[in-house]
Amino acid sequence: QVKLQQSGPGLVKPSQTLSVTCVISGDDISSTTSAWNWIRQSPSRGLEWLGRTYYRSTWYNEYAVSVRSRIDIDTETSKNQFSLHLNSVTPEDTALYYCSRQQLYDDAWRPFDYWGQGTLVTVSS
């Protein structure tokens, strides 16, 4: 059974960097059939996909254009975890942040199956 456990600060000041970590159990972050995603949810923007990382002999990242200049997703394979870093945050980045897994099956990606519990991040001074 795959489990994704999130952690991160609940409050971030404007202009600072928001960081949330997702620890994976039951799967290997370096699996060539998995991708690791970040999604956020807010009343104003609904559910919004932010980006993903996956391993295919090397690490690949894909990011939403809306946050591309501010986002980084990195991995720590020794801890089987990945992290979202979003810099220069504003109150508009206040949201519930989720990590999620995507699986490759028969050469086609399936939609997100396992999700973390969510981390509410508020951007406020």
Question: Which residues form the interface with another protein (CB under 8 A)?
Answer: 46-49, 62, 64-66, 98, 100, 102, 108-113, 115-118
CB of 50 to another protein, least distance (A): 8
CB of 49 to another protein, least distance (A): 4
The whole-angstrom separation of Cα 68 and Cα 64 is 6
Q: How far is the CB of 64 from another protein (least distance, A)?
A: 4
Establish how many alpha carbons lie within 13 A of residue 55's alpha carbon, considering only the half-sphere containing its beta carbon: 12
Quick one: 29 or 35, whose CB is closer to another protein?
35
CA distance 9 to 46: 21
Q: Longest Cα pair distance anywhere in the chain, in angstroms?
A: 48
Pick between residue 106 and residue 124 the one whose CB is nearest to another protein: 106
